Amino acid sequence: MNPSKLLAKIREPWLKQVTQTLAQGTNLRESIQGQFERFFELLEEALQTGNPAWLDSILLDWINAPTLTQLHEGAQGVSKIINQVISITSATARDTLSDTETLDLLTAILPFYTYALERVARLETEARINYMNNEITEMKDKLEHLDRTKSNFISVAAHELKTPLTLIEGYSSMLRDTVDSTKSSGADQFLRGMNTGIARMRAIVDDMIDVSLIDNKLLSLNFQPTAISHLLTFLKSELTEIIKLRQQRLIIQKFSGDDAWIYADSERLYQALKNILTNAIKYTPDKGTITLDGRTLPGFVEIIVTDTGIGISHENQTLIFEKFAQLGKVNLHSSGKTKFKGGGPGLGLPITRGIIEAHGGTIWVESEGYDEDKCPGSSFHILLPLRTDASDATVEKLFGKIENLSYGKKDTANNESPA
């Protein structure tokens, strides 16, 4: 018998069974029956014309019907329904038709069900991907909003603190002038304590201002001819006392490219290098070693600061460059500029990254992990473009083009600071 006629023969028991099974536990019996009447009609059309695309419209409606919760939980709703419909079709055919008729009908109809299953699987995957994409976009928007709020807060707080801080600095300086340090009133000592606090606060406010400049892409660099070796010489002398205090060794190697003249903002670069070296001192136990080395790469100079400190876990290696990052499993003390593990507000590395990126460079860290007992150490890498052109005409006029780049041969002689 013609498969279309066989299909027509099972219509009533099929519809009854499908509605009963799928409407179970719901009060949507009528609407479900209506849906499957339509499905059956389209299946008949598909079978008669040999074109499975007749099923597309209803499958699409079903795919778009599931609630967001179902998608969220990953329920493969429509595929499941089609699978149930396939078993019900084969059961009702067996109950209603002879064995040969059942075989004929199933052979004729299976390709259409297979088509429906494939189509549904593809549509469901697409719907799920769309849902996930929307979720990601929503999440990204929320994070960006949060970041903007954080950034606005820092900017407002820093500017609000700046004025009273300047007043305190001014009055404390006047007070210092009026205190007679020759008399042992103790006022001198109080003033010193006050000044330490003021200096710490000034550093934090300056960091907050820098972070908000970087966040708002307002950090402007003052490019001028700079030689890294000069910055390192100044840095070494600035850090000598702290290094001595911590009984550490600071080894500054000569490396190819360190004495090349490049266009850079020397003040900002100094600030960035100082942050990295101060961190190396802070997160390395007493008697540890900090080594600064580097090399020239095509178009770049790489500066590497290695320490024998507590190291950084893999999960924190990107987080530390985010402002106010909450690092897991790191025990820090109250803030201290150079004390072992004296954690600060967590703005140093975001600023350093901002400065290096504003130069067109990049910064990253390598470490085997965080271990306060074994001290695996960390290596901070800074890749800086060897810029030989001035940033604008005025600077060019003032300093000219740096033509005489001399990447001195690597000198192995150590430039070691006193321990």
Q: Binding residues for ligand ADP, per CB under 6 A?
A: 275, 279-280, 283, 307, 309-310, 312, 320, 327, 330, 332, 343-349, 378
Of 39 and 283, nearer to ligand ADP (C-beta) is 283
DSSP per-residue string spanning 376-407: --EEEEEEEE---S-SSHHHHHHH--------
Q: Residue 238 Cβ, how far from ligand ADP at the closest point, in Å?
A: 17
Of 160 and 371, nearer to ligand ADP (C-beta) is 371
Of 35 and 275, nearer to ligand ADP (C-beta) is 275
Exposed e or buried b per residue across 181-217, where buried means at least 16 C-beta atoms within 10 angstroms of its C-beta: eeeeeeeeeebeeeeeeeeeebebbbbbbbbbbbbee
Residue 68, Cβ density class (10 Å: 0-12 exposed, 13-18 middle, ≥19 buried):
exposed
Q: What single DSSP character describes residue 410?
A: P
Q: Per the structure block, which two tokens stand in for 61?
A: 């409606």
Contact indicator for 351, 207 with CB cutoff of 8 Å: yes
Of 43 and 347, nearer to ligand ADP (C-beta) is 347
Q: Residue 325 Cβ, how far from ligand ADP at the closest point, in Å?
A: 7
Q: Residue 393 Cβ, how far from ligand ADP at the closest point, in Å?
A: 37
Q: What torsion do the CA atoms of 212, 217, 223, 229 make, to the nearest 10 degrees?
A: 60
- Specify whether the backbone of 74 is left (phi greater than 0), alpha (psi in -120 to 50) or beta: left
Contact indicator for 263, 389 with CB cutoff of 8 Å: yes
Q: Residue 241 Cβ, how far from ligand ADP at the closest point, in Å?
A: 19
Q: Residue 275 Cβ, how far from ligand ADP at the closest point, in Å?
A: 6
Q: Residue 359 Cβ, how far from ligand ADP at the closest point, in Å?
A: 18
Of 211 and 390, nearer to ligand ADP (C-beta) is 211
Of 102 and 212, nearer to ligand ADP (C-beta) is 212
CA–CA distances in Å: residue 230 to residues 262, 281, 295:
12, 21, 16
The residue of the chain with the least Cβ separation from ligand ADP equals 344
Of 34 and 345, nearer to ligand ADP (C-beta) is 345
Q: Residue 283 Cβ, how far from ligand ADP at the closest point, in Å?
A: 3
Number of CB atoms found within 10 A of residue 47's CB: 22
